[in-house]
A and B are shown apart, each in its own frame.
Chain A
Amino acid sequence: QVQLVQSGAEVKKPGASVKVSCRASGYIFSNYDIHWVRQAPGQGLEWMGRMNTGIANTEYSQDFQGRVTISRDTSANTAYMELRSLRSEDTAVYYCARRRALDLYYNYAMDVWGQGTTVTVSS
């Protein structure tokens, strides 16, 4: 079945970097964008950025510009999100999600989500 499986939980010190993976299965990986969304403890959802996995162009939230890089390995059907210069406020669950057009009118939404990866930043 269609699914996104993310890498396991991470604990990092302030100033370090983290790289989270998102492996796709059950569909043609390069046909759909992968987006990254995070959720701090007890907070709402925050969009971080996306990659067109076919041509590898990216778009990032200005809130993370310069600190985040989204990449992919098409041979492994895997997308990655690297966040640098971590601070305590980056402690959150990080999700990848597939964006797909769900009808003939190109109405898009995030229809498949990874299980989430908890990143804890603590000294």
Chain B
Amino acid sequence: DIQLTQSPSFLSASVGDRVAITCRASQGISNSLAWYQQKPGIAPKLLIYGAFSLQSGVPSRFSGSGSGTEFTLTISSLQPEDFATYYCQQLNSYPLTFGGGTRVEIK
């Protein structure tokens, strides 16, 4: 199984900050990676697919990069509505797997 390791697991930041979350895969997955945002009590929301493509309707302050085994989700200027937990997911092979999550909280 492909393991995904996210870092950091917790991030404290202020509105307007630039933040980056890393996701490392235990083996190469090309660009078969998605990023999701989840708020408490709500289903995950797709942000990025194919490692760097922005899902329709998602603000452009979100961006994804990387390929192979190392990927990054960047929020260029953190907004109040961005405080949430973020997950990466590999869709390269079954079983599909998720990273452990990164909780972004207000400093």
Contact = CB atoms under 8 A, between A and B. Distances in A.
Given A107-B32, A107-B50, A108-B91, A113 B98 contact: no
Q: Looking at chain A's contact residues, is the secondary structure mostly helix, strand, loop, or mixed?
A: strand
Interface residues of B, number: 24
Interface in A39-92: 44-47, 50, 59, 61-62
Given A44-B101, A62-B95, A109 B43 contact: no
Contacts of B89: 45, 109-110
A70 B30 CA distance: 29
Interface string A80-119: 0000000000000001010100110101111101111000
A114 to B, nearest CB: 7
Contacts, number: 68
Given A102-B49, A103-B50, A111 B55 contact: yes
B38 to A, nearest CB: 8
Interface residues of A, number: 25
Nearest to B95: A61
A33 to B, nearest CB: 11
Q: Looking at chain B's contact residues, is the secondary structure mostly helix, strand, loop, or mixed?
A: loop
Contacts of B27: none
B100 A44 contact: yes
A45 B50 CA distance: 19
Contacts of A61: 95
Given A50-B96, A108-B32, A111-B46, 9 more contacts: A35-B96, A45-B89, A59-B94, A59-B95, A102-B55, A107-B50, A108-B91, A110-B89, A113-B45
16 contacts: A44-B99, A45-B36, A45-B89, A47-B95, A61-B95, A95-B43, A95-B44, A103-B53, A107-B31, A107-B50, A108-B32, A108-B91, A109-B55, A109-B91, A110-B89, A113-B44
